[in-house]
A and B are shown apart, each in its own frame.
Chain A
């Protein structure tokens, strides 16, 4: 069984934000009105965390892209009263929009604030939505959504691989963010495959995960930025 994981190399990531937009256009993530955006309700499945440390002028700015971590022991799935979010056999934590009742417990449970909510009907000003990818559905108001590791791409790749009776090759299935990153900072693949890039990178001396002590077993590894 495959287990899908991601490794983000912070030495390479410049914080440009292309992954944020690639994700939005790939997954038909709605745009919210300016007032809502200013209230903190922008819907970014992939978010760019930015923090700085140090005393002027020796400032160290840390930028890291944060998708959903697709934990192996996900707190969000435990609190969902209707089973709308669950972890499948390949390690993908899915959000089934039609079961979601919008209680947002999962948003509270997630220690990484990976989930976003459709506070309004996903239409923005002047009655226009942004749907360009026919492979991904559009959500309704009142539904939680989050990064899916572009699982719709997995289904297509799996189909092609099954038809040819072969396993999925490393690098054949990559989410939109990994594909677009101009700095090649995001690696993605099957961590159970010992020949895969993510397997090797996740064992790099720089590799670590966020808040490992919580025991949620996130599947996104970060390769630490080598500081000055």
Chain B
């Protein structure tokens, strides 16, 4: 018959294993996220340097809304409507989306959680932040980023706020 003491030991071992396994599982979850594949290998550099585009030309709502927004098909169609303008195979993929009238299923990598209010308008227009402060030197990128330049964590947000002497009041962001 198991004694109370041995029962306790048993429980400790079982919990230990359970926690151990969960920790492994949990850390796997963190690792798993790194390889993000976008439907089109969009080349920022070529668009900025050759086509002379600015950030706000495609991410149109950066100065007016909370979300900068990923460009809709309408925006791409301003230049890429029927005939390819380059010899990139990626453009053919784009033109197929245009022909099918299907929005490109971009995968968001900067994901601000539901309970946080982050406003691009506030940071860019009022705060005067450059896009590169959080998104890095996008004009150098020839392929889409696979992970965020600045991880969207509360620690990173608050650090920047502290450095810039901006309010770290919980209510400014938590909603």
Please say whether the chains A and B touch (CB closer than 8 A).
yes
Which residues on A are within 8 Å of B, measured CB to CB?
Answer: 86, 88-89, 92, 94, 96-98, 135-138, 151-152, 155, 159, 162-163
Given A89-B169, A96-B170, A159 and B115 contact (CB-CB distance below 8 Å) = no
Chain A residues with CB under 8 Å of B125's CB are 163
Chain A residues with CB under 8 Å of B174's CB are 94, 96-98, 137
Chain B residues with CB under 8 Å of A89's CB are 169
Q: Kindly identify which residue among A92, A135, A162 contacts B171, using a CB–CB cutoff of 8 Å.
A: A92
Q: Kindly identify which residue among A96, A138, A162 contacts B126, using a CB–CB cutoff of 8 Å.
A: A162
Whether B169 pairs with A138 at a CB distance below 8 angstroms is no
Whether A135 pairs with B170 at a CB distance below 8 angstroms is no
7 residue pairs, one from A and one from B, having the closest CB atoms: A137-B115, A152-B175, A94-B171, A137-B114, A88-B171, A162-B126, A88-B169
Does B97 sit within 8 A of A, measured CB to CB? no
Assembly CA distance A86 to B168 (angstroms) = 13
Whether B175 pairs with A162 at a CB distance below 8 angstroms is no
**Which residues 63-100 in B have Cβ within 8 Å of A in the complex?**
none
Whether A136 pairs with B170 at a CB distance below 8 angstroms is no
Whether A135 pairs with B175 at a CB distance below 8 angstroms is yes
Chain A residues with CB under 8 Å of B117's CB are 135, 152, 155
Closest Cβ of chain B: how far from A213's Cβ, in Å? 29
Q: How large is the interface on B (under 10, 10 to 19, 20 to 34, 35 or more residues)?
A: 10 to 19
**Which residues 146-175 in B have Cβ within 8 Å of A in the complex?**
169-172, 174-175
**Which residues 86-133 in B have Cβ within 8 Å of A in the complex?**
113-117, 119, 121-122, 125-126
Assembly CA distance A166 to B122 (angstroms) = 14
Assembly CA distance A150 to B99 (angstroms) = 44
Whether B121 pairs with A159 at a CB distance below 8 angstroms is yes
Assembly CA distance A88 to B172 (angstroms) = 10
Query: In the complex, which residue of chain A has the Cβ closest to the Cβ of B127?
Result: A162
Assembly CA distance A162 to B125 (angstroms) = 10
Assembly CA distance A163 to B169 (angstroms) = 19
Query: In the complex, which residue of chain B has the Cβ closest to the Cβ of A92?
Result: B171
Given A159-B126, A162-B122, A163-B126, A151 and B115 contact (CB-CB distance below 8 Å) = no
Closest Cβ of chain B: how far from A162's Cβ, in Å? 5
Whether A137 pairs with B122 at a CB distance below 8 angstroms is no
Chain A residues with CB under 8 Å of B116's CB are 137
Closest Cβ of chain A: how far from B173's Cβ, in Å? 8
Chain A residues with CB under 8 Å of B172's CB are 155
Known: A96-B170, A98-B174, A159-B122. 19 other contacts (CB 8 A): A88-B169, A88-B170, A88-B171, A89-B169, A96-B174, A97-B115, A97-B174, A135-B175, A136-B175, A137-B114, A137-B116, A137-B174, A137-B175, A138-B114, A152-B117, A152-B175, A159-B126, A162-B122, A163-B125
